[in-house]
Structure 1
Amino acid sequence: MIKRHAVLLTVLFALTVSLVSLSAIFWEFYKLNKEQYINHIFTKYSVITQIYREHQQRQSSEIMLEANLAVYNLEVTKDEKLKKEIFEKGKILKREGFKSFNTSLLINDKGLYTKNVVTNLRATMIQYKRNIYFHIETPNGDILIKDNELKPYSYINLLYSYITIFMIISLSFILILQRLRPLIRLRKKIELYGNGNMDISFKTNRDDEIGAVANELEHARQKINTILESRTLFLRNLMHELKTPIAKGTIATQMLDSQKQRDRFSSIFKRLETLVTEFAMIEEVTSLDDKKDFSEYRLLDVIDGAIDMAMVDKEHVTMKISGKIKVHVNYRLYTTAIKNMIDNAMKYSTDSHITILMNDKNELCFESKGECLAHPLQYYIEPFTKENPSKNSFGLGLYLVDSILKAHGEVLAHEYENGVNRFIFA
């Protein structure tokens, strides 16, 4: 199943990898961009710290502090309830502790001198309800200041960019799949043609690569159909033209005075009639394009029909077949295949006896005593090939059996064990 949809699965895999990679890149970019934004706006704490420290040192009024902060669009948050909500529910974006160095020039009775004061401070940036607050803590107190200018980090622009690129990639792959749809339809048509629908058309008006392949297939289909029709017509006409002189020859043979000559000519015409019949059977098998004539039969009934066709006494055939076994076959063709196996055993076995049975793999087997085949089985399933040229045969028996089995999705196999030839319908 995977191999049949390899191209489609490859495209879907490439789409998945592309979208996952895009999402991962944008996620990392989002985190980096947000961190840079927070670090950038956090630097404002230095201005706030300086204003607040000067306020503490000079002990200026609250009005002066608020005025200085208002210059930078900052506002002191005094509502204790609001401050509590901000501390409890607000999101801490960044917190940093540092030391503040303050140098003062003083005078005493000894003259001027410098005084350095080191103060431990901590600045915390908090986000609460789309507002940014700075909480400045010193040993002498703390203050919460709202920045009316700064806003929390917004990912909207980045999200728009991500969605845009995501949609472009998705649409690109959708267009690719859309272009591959004719290839899927073409594969289905080829499958129908392979299953025997000789009238299927591959012709298309597309002018791309797939269209070129489809039109070439249509050209090839027309050539193949023409060849098949010519072959069928030739074989049928040939067999029809041969049957007429054979029938006339058979009748004329009966008018001969010599019994010896009558027997000789009768044998010749009978062999010719057998050859024409086998040709007709081969033509039927090779032109079998569907399974509409297949039905379910008991295997015992099929074998009995083959024994009757072979015109052999039933004591020459031993059957070890369960009556419950059924097969889905073309009765006439499958019976002919079994009949040929029986004929083969009658001609080449040392005791003119054949045993028909099912093996452990539930395969139909034909066993007969005799010498092992002189050549591999492939040699004997070629047309006009036989072990003993003196036998009354044209060498089409096993070739016909192999052709019939292939039409049924089976193959002919051979084993030799302890003086027994075993032919298997596998």
Structure 2
Amino acid sequence: MKLINQFTIWYLGISVIVLLIGGVLIFYKLESEIDFEQGKELERQLDNYARRMEFMDNPARLKKDRLEIRELPLEAELIPFQVNDTLAWHEPLEQVERQVKAGRSYLINGRHFYMSTYNIMIESDDITETVVQTMITIFLLLLVFIVVTSRLVSKKILRPFHQSLHKINDFTFKENAPLEFEPSRIEEFEKLHEFLRKMSLRLLSDYKIVKEFSENLSHEIQTPIAITSGKLELLLNSSISNQQAKWIAAAYQSTQKMSKTVQSLATLAKLENQEFEGTQRLDLSRLVQKSLAGYEELITIKNIALHQTIIPAIQIEMHPTMAEMLVDNLLSNAIKHNQSPGYIHIEVTENRLAIRNPGHQPKNDVSEFLERFKKGNPSGDSIGLGLSIVQQICRIHGLTLDYQFCEGEHRICIELQNCIRM
């Protein structure tokens, strides 16, 4: 969920709570104010009637539908102003309704009179309906206002944030330049930019050190490996015993394995550091067939039957070097971990690249073989980096790699995206 949507939801949630509390307070305030004003109005009416009675000989002539006048003994105590509810006939509605009734007694021209009058009461249901309608209207207006203004304001306030995200997304080690951000008047963004700038400088420094170390190590190791391999080849061609030949052959294989390990680790480092930049449209079908042709002799020697389902002219967007490494490592893995006699099923369609081959039951979960230096046979010739390279290439290009061992077969399937058939 986007940040602005979370802000909007929180604001609306807080607004609903405030409006509910405010609605309850407004209800009770309105009810008390209306009762107070109705009582005051009825008191003013009674006082007005009392003043008029001072100039009348017969107070009975002042009696009206809603005015009651009753004479009390002169010695009786004055009754103070009081308000209560009553039921009375409401003429316009033609029914009995709850009404508010007020009364008090007056001494007028040496006589004691009690007067009372009543009026229609504004009921709680009417007040509730008014308050609810008002609150709903306010909430809808607030909803529209928050949604519209939050979108407009967020574009301005969060513009530095989105610009920072764009710069971080475009940051690469290959450019060898730290992150630089446009100045912002928001203090939090400035602190974030300063932290990111320092972090990018540290990353570039560490990357440079690690890259130089790995390049120097690779270069320095390859030279003695080449010398050692050359000397071992010379020894193999000289007069030696069978036992010495076996030892020399084992040493030669170890140097070759070391050379492959260094090259594979260097390749993984380049992949992780995104040193293979840029993609182009490639013919995956032709690339697979070309790679198969290169392994043809090895497939024949190992007595492996090849079954192909390759739809021609399947196009894929990928860096050429990484595409070649992907296909070569998959085929090499299928040949190396096969049986004799065995078979390889390879399928290339618009949706996937799949390879199946028979093999021994792995002791561990096959998903572990996608990690570095993980292999099914620890004593085998494999260095355990081929599938790691395949996995890293798939991650870079957003492809899904699925590896399973099922029914005596190693099954590797890569779900392809943005592939077309020309």
Taking a change above 3 Å as real, the CA distance of residues 231 and 186 of structure 1, as seen in their structure-2 partners, is: farther
Partner of 2:272: 286
Which amino acid in structure 2 is aligned with residue 8 of structure 1? F
Distance 1:278 1:36 in 2: 90
Structure 2: runs of 5 or more not aligned = 60-91, 93-97, 122-137, 416-422
* 2: CA distance, partners of 1:97 / 1:277: 101
Q: 1:102 to 1:408 in 2, by over 3 A?
A: closer
Q: CA deviation at 1:272?
A: 5.3
Structure 1 residues 376 and 192 mapped into 2: Cα distance closer, same or farther (>3 Å)?
farther
Look up the match of 1:83.
none
Residue 164 of structure 2: SS of its match in structure 1?
Answer: helix
Kindly report which structure 2 residues correspond to 1:6-405, keeping only aligned pairs within 5 A, or say none: 8-9=7-8, 11-13=10-12, 15-17=14-16, 20-21=19-20, 24=23, 27-28=26-27, 29-30=29-30, 32-53=32-53, 57-58=57-58, 185=160, 189=164, 192-193=167-168, 196-197=171-172, 199-201=178-180, 215-243=194-222, 258=237, 271=257, 273-288=259-274, 293-308=278-293, 310=295, 316-323=305-312, 326-350=315-339, 351-357=341-347, 362-389=351-378, 391-405=380-394
C-alpha distance in 1 between matches for 2:283 and 2:57: 112
SS of structure 2 residue aligned to 1:44: helix
Q: Distance in 2 between the 1:270 and 1:100 partners?
A: 117
Counterpart residue identity of residue 179, structure 2 = I
2:263 corresponds to which letter in structure 1? T
Pick closer, same or farther for the CA change 1:99–1:187 going to 2, 3 Å: closer
Letter in 2 for 1:50: A
Cα distance per residue 1:143-185 (max 9 Å; x no partner): xxxxxxxxxxxxxxxxxxx9xxx9xxx9xx99xx99x957x84
Q: Is the 8 A contact 2:400 2:414 kept in 1?
A: yes
The structure number with the bigger radius of gyration is: 1
Range moving further from structure 2, 248-257 or 389-398: 248-257
Q: Distance in 1 between matches of 2:283 and 2:387?
A: 23
The offset of 1:286, in angstroms, is 0.7
Q: Is the 8 A contact 1:345 1:352 kept in 2?
A: no
Match of residue 154 from structure 1: none
CA root-mean-square deviation: 5.3
How far does residue 19 in structure 1 lie from its aligned partner after superposition?
Answer: 5.3
Q: Residues 57 and 297 from structure 1, CA distance in 2 versus in 1: closer, same or farther, beyond 3 angstroms?
A: farther
Q: Give runs of aligned pairs for residues 401-412 of structure 1, distance below 5 A.
A: 401-412=390-401
Are residues 1:415 and 2:397 paired?
no
Q: Match for 1:12: what amino acid? A: Y
Alpha-carbon distance in 2 for matches of 1:102, 1:208: 73
TM-score by length of 2: 0.59
What amino acid is the match of 1:49?
Answer: Y
In the TM superposition, what is the alpha-carbon distance from 1:367 to its structure 2 partner?
0.7
Letter in 2 for 1:230: I
Q: TM-score, normalised by structure 1?
A: 0.58
Q: CA deviation at 1:316?
A: 4.7
- Code of the aligned partner of 1:405: C
By how many angstroms is 1:117 displaced?
Answer: 9.4
Aligned AA (1:286): E
Q: What 5-or-longer segments of structure 1 have no aligned partner?
A: 60-87, 89-93, 107-113, 126-161
| Seq. identity, % | 15
- Contact 1:320–1:356 (Cα < 8 Å) also in 2: yes
Cα distance in 1 for residues equivalent to 2:109 and 2:26: 52
Change (3 A) 1:396 1:98: closer
Letter of the aligned partner of 2:309 in structure 1?
A: K
Q: Is the 8 A contact 1:340 1:397 kept in 2?
A: yes
Given the superposition, is the C-alpha separation of residues 209 and 197 from structure 1 closer, same or farther in structure 2, using an over 3 Å criterion? same
Q: Please report how far the alpha carbon of residue 43 of structure 1 lies from its aligned counterpart in structure 2 after TM superposition.
A: 2.0
What amino acid is the match of 1:189? S
Shift of 1:7: 5.5
Contact persistence 2:287–2:324 (CA under 8 A): yes
Counterpart contact for 1:370–1:420, Cα < 8 Å: yes
Structure 1: distance between partners of 2:115 and 2:4: 72
Is the partner of 1:239 in helix, strand or coil?
Answer: helix
* CA–CA separation in structure 1 for the residues paired with 2:252 and 2:20: 84
Deviation, structure 1 residue 340? 1.0
